[in-house]
Amino acid sequence: MISANAPDCRVQMTLKEDSRLRFLLNGVFRQGVRVEILAGSSIRQVVVDHLGIAEDYLENRVQTLFLNGKPVDDVDAMKVSDGSTLALSAAMPGLAGATLRKGGKYAAFRQQISFGSDSPVPVLRKGRMILKLFNQVTEEQGPAVLTKGIGISGGDLLDVIRKAQDQSLLQEILKLEVNGKIIAPEMLAPEIATEAAVFLSIS
């Protein structure tokens, strides 16, 4: 579970350019990671300004969006509050995918479950949200989001480290810092508590 509190530790990894460890790290986006935002901003502002995803990518590549579990059509009208969960996906297959697609011709079939714009407009302030990325969006945008930094649980990070160790990928970490202290990659696990709130950034 991702903690909503300030991080207990900060982890900075520098990886080889073509490191396979990046693909393991992309897996955390399916569970959700915490990112800092200006709460009260529109979905478009959060995706483009805060996450650094290109506007044309949002328009053309991101075909399905969920805000707090409900599909969204209008990325300008919908505001992201502190503690919200935003999920981004490329086109999903089948009728279900077509129905959930933003602005699609089947959108009328899901009016009762879609996220409406009649909620009060929140005041702009610093906050955090949970971000989930799926399918091609994870592969194409996950690395850039990791560069900016994400909040994850110590348990999720330890899962990645164990998988990396099993696949002999720890050697692809060129530099590793925990709270500003350089350590050997194999010493990361003892430094991180499972319940810890971790801020992780990758370069």
In three-state form (DSSP H/G/I as H, E/B as E, the rest C), the secondary structure along the chain is: CCCCCCCCEEEEEEECCCCCHHHHHHCHHHHCEEEEEEECCEHHHHHHHHCCCCHHHHHHCCCEEEECCEECCCCCCCECCCCCEEEEECCCCHHHHHHHCCCCCCHHHHCCCCCCCCCCCCCCEEEEEEEEECHHHHHHHHHHHHHHCEEEEHHHHHHHHHHHHHCCCHHHEEEEEECCEECCHHHHHHHCCCCCEEEEEEC
| pLDDT of the residue at 124 | 83
pTM assigned to the model: 0.84
| pLDDT of the residue at 116 | 55
| Residues of the chain where predicted confidence (pLDDT) is lower than 50 | 93-100, 104-107, 109-110, 112-115
Sequence spans of domains, the chain? 9-202
| pLDDT of the residue at 175 | 96
| pLDDT of the residue at 98 | 44
| pLDDT of the residue at 7 | 78
